[in-house]
Amino acid sequence: MPVEPPIETPASLADAYAALAGSTADAPIIPIAGGTDVMVRITGEIGEPPARMVDLSRLAELRGITVDGTAVIIGAATTYTEMRRSDVCREHLPALVEAAATIGAAQIQNRGTLGGNIVNASPAGDTLPVLLALDAAIVVGGARGERTVPAADFWVAYRRTALAPDELVLRVRIPVAGGREARFRKVGTRRAQAISKVVLALAWREDHGAPASAWSDVRLALGSVADRPIRARATEAVLEGATPTPETADAAAESLAAEIHPIDDVRSTADYRRVVAARALHRMIRDAGGW
Ligand SMILES: Cc1cc2nc3c(=O)[nH]c(=O)nc-3n(C[C@H](O)[C@H](O)[C@H](O)COP(=O)(O)OP(=O)(O)OC[C@H]3O[C@@H](n4cnc5c(N)ncnc54)[C@H](O)[C@@H]3O)c2cc1C
């Protein structure tokens, strides 16, 4: 019978930082938000169970969705259900809302948080390509102060992040860019309760009111095709300055199939992932071009 690990429930961020003091890579004190990833590990059947935990649920500093003119700011402990229901997210971040709607099912969306998805750092984490494509900045904090890590620098290796063991993710800043478009596509075995075989997010800018104008600031990010969520920079270069024509879609799909190096695993094969990622990108460009 597994023993339930001791858990502290700090009432303030300062108390949470104090509770995390002494957390190291070898002896981590595990923050718990929604618990939808942590509780799966609690029996010890999947990896090392947490020895000590810090509950983040009372920290008002980690909650809420606001917009400040240049960015949408989402507290780390914001749930998927809150993002789906948020007028701010629906207006400015429809691709993130779409990603949130594909995660687990209602129970997971009610508990699971954006911060948990970020720190769990699964290569298949569904919000992570969206954060990469939208140039999100991840604000982290600890007893030594706060710092901001661009999403592009946050996932550093397989399930490893730029976060120190005694730091928390506090919030995510997602720039609100005029004329930016973004699309999300998840491919899994089912429409709910499915871990992604491939997940893509594509963002670009175009002149307002001119959908056939050349794309700029193109960002293409993928999950489940590498040991961490990645940007496909060679394919971004193919799309930068291009218009969404059939020729562009063909060139971008060919580029992406050559650029990614997925693996075979229990959920899918490398070949399937490569072909599906290229087809999904082709479809996104076709939809954007309206042909
Ligand atoms: C049935 C089921 C279905 C699922 N389906 C999907 C899916 O479709 N797509 C998907 O991407 N994921 C899925 N997940 C995984 C999970 O729900 C998500 O990753 C979720 O976002 C985790 O959030 P949480 O708040 O529950 O994290 P927790 O379990 O509380 O924590 C996850 C990790 O993040 C750390 N952590 C949490 N918050 C912070 C913080 N603010 N600062 C520092 N560290 C923090 C914890 O220490 C832990 O390491 C599923 C899980 C289950 C059980």
Pocket test for ligand 1, best of 36, 58, 147, 154 (most atoms within 8 A of CB): 36
Q: Is 106 in the pocket of ligand 1 (CB under 6 A)?
A: no
The pLDDT value given to residue 191:
78
Distances (CA, A) of 90 to 65, 174, 208: 11, 13, 19
Protein residue with its CA nearest to atom 32 in ligand 1: 116
Atom of ligand 1 nearest to the CA of 194: 8
**Ligand 1 binding pocket mutation candidate from 58, 117, 155 (most atoms within 8 A of CB):** 117
Q: Kindly report, residue by residue over 122-181, the tens digit of the pLDDT.
A: 999 999 999 999 999 999 999 999 999 999 999 999 999 999 999 999 999 999 988 899
Atom 9 (ligand 1): residue with closest C-alpha? 103
Ligand 1 and 10: CB distance under 6 A: no
Tell me, what's the pLDDT at 45?
85
Mean pLDDT of 266-281: 94
| Residues in contact with 249: Cβ distance below 8 Å, sequence separation at least 6, in sequence order | 281, 282, 285, 286, 289
User: Is residue 229 over pLDDT 60?
Assistant: yes
Which residue's CA lies nearest to atom 19 of ligand 1?
117
pLDDT band at residue 208, thresholds of 50, 70 and 90? low
- Centre of ligand 1 to C-alpha 82, Å, is 15
pLDDT at 92: 96
User: Angle of helix 270-289 relative to helix 246-259, nearest 10 degrees?
Assistant: 160
Task: For residue 157, report the distance from its CA to the centre of ligand 1, in Å.
Answer: 18
Residues 76-134 pLDDT 10s: 999 999 999 999 999 999 999 999 999 999 999 999 999 999 999 999 999 999 999 99
Residue 139 and residue 171 in contact, taking contact as beta carbons nearer than 8 Å: yes
State the distance from the centre of ligand 1 to the C-alpha of 28, rounded, in angstroms: 17
Mutate to test the pocket of ligand 1, among 32, 139, 154, 189 (most ligand atoms within 8 A of CB): 32
